[in-house]
């Protein structure tokens, strides 16, 4: 992969790929990709909103992908509904060349009854267990281990040193980054007389199509049944998913999220970095959980939550606004307490001055 193409790319080619409205000469070309602020005459960049233009000022970019027609700039541009998506499409099409399949290296260790599809790239140092099924156009980099009776779907890519334990299923077009472990034992023990006895983890892991797992992700196998990551979900680096968890489709889990056992997460859920979810809870669809949140209870769908313990986001924002004022509020409370004591003392003195029957000396 590179940010520079081997040959110039015309705006006509880009427009043919992303559609939209082309403003400028279709024969104009770019040869590289760049961020908005650093883009030069040979670069393609993108703009997601007018704020970028106001903050960045004039751009020298050779061409732009933009969200509206821009008569205020002379640069050629293509107007599309989602410039960031169009930029990703251009990058994938013109800047991510597909290498020809390498085949199966002679140094690969293969168990019995393995089935391997066509046009694969299986590098040296890969180990395949017994009765493993590998789909077409799969790439396994050095150090990958695939356990017995595991299935890998078509067009899936496993980077170096990925471990997939026995009895797991990985779908099509899945990307797994280095150091990730799929199917490690769930953290299951039973206590008896001060000792911890391991509960055999007899289930598996199912990763559905179009999932991407970052580096050093750990997904535990189920005690019984399956730990499931549903279609289209994207998981960042250093995420821990415990046994029998289900993550719904098209969810996003950011780095260092930890999810305890048997928790069910709905579809299109977004979980911010370092958030922790307790075991045996249910997170509704389309919930947004802020970074570092501590989720100790189930959450209804379609809400935004923050804090530890978790609370509605708007409540958490108000609470955070109060925290810097706590020393001042504490002093205010102490001052009010002193005033109350003085007022009560004053009232007590006045009461003693009254005679029998409740009349003051002046009234008698």
Alpha carbon distance 340, 334 (integer Å): 10
- Known catalytic residue at 243: yes
Q: Which of 77, 243, 268, 313 is catalytic?
A: 243
Alpha carbon distance 45, 38 (integer Å): 9
Q: Which two tokens stand for residue 19?
A: 């559609």
Tokens 């040869």 belong to 31
β-bridge partners, 33 = 44
For 15, other C-beta atoms within 10 Å of its C-beta total: 18
- Cis omega (within 30 of 0) on the bond before 309? yes
Alpha carbon distance 314, 317 (integer Å): 5
Instruction: For residue 63, give the nearest of 6, 20, 2, 1 by alpha carbon.
Output: 20
| C-alpha dist (Å) from residue 178 to 73, 217, 236, 285 | 43, 9, 12, 30
Q: Which residues are catalytic?
A: 243
């Amino acid at each position: 992969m590179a940010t520079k193409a081997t040959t110039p790319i015309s705006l006509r080619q880009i427009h043919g790929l992303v559609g939209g409205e082309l403003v400028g000469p279709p024969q104009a070309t770019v040869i590289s990709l760049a961020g908005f602020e650093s883009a030069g005459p040979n670069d393609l960049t993108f703009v997601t909103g007018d704020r970028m233009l106001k903050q960045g000022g004039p751009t020298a970019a050779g061409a732009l992908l933009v969200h509206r027609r821009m008569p205020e700039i002379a640069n050629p541009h293509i107007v599309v509904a989602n410039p960031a998506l169009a930029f990703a499409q251009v990058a994938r099409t013109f800047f991510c060349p597909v290498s020809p399949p390498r085949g199966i290296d002679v140094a690969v260790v293969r168990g019995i009854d393995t089935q391997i599809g066509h046009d694969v790239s299986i590098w040296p140092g890969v180990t395949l267990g017994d009765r493993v099924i590998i789909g077409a156009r799969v790439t396994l980099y050095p150090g990958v281990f695939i356990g017995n009776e595991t299935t890998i779907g078509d067009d899936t890519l496993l980077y170096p040193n990925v471990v997939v334990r026995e009895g797991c299923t990985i779908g099509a077009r899945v990307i797994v980054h280095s150091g990730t472990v799929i199917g490690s034992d769930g953290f299951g023990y039973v206590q008896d007389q001060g000792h911890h006895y391991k509960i055999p983890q007899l289930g598996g892991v199912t990763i559905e199509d179009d999932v991407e797992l970052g580096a050093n992700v750990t997904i535990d196998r189920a005690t019984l049944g399956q730990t499931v990551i549903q279609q289209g979900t994207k998981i960042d680096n250093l995420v821990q998913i415990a046994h029998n968890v289900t993550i719904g489709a098209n969810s996003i889990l950011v780095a260092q999220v930890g999810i305890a056992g048997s928790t069910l997460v709905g579809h299109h859920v977004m979980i911010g970095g370092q958030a922790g979810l307790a075991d045996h809870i249910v997170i509704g669809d389309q919930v947004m959980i802020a970074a570092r949140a501590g989720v100790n209870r189930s959450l209804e769908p379609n809400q935004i939550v923050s804090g530890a313990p978790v609370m509605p986001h708007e409540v958490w924002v108000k609470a955070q606004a109060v925290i810097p004022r706590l020393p001042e509020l504490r002093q205010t409370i102490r001052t009010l307490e002193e005033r109350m004591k003085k007022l009560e003392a004053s009232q007590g003195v006045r009461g003693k001055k009254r005679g029998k029957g409740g009349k003051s000396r002046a009234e008698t």
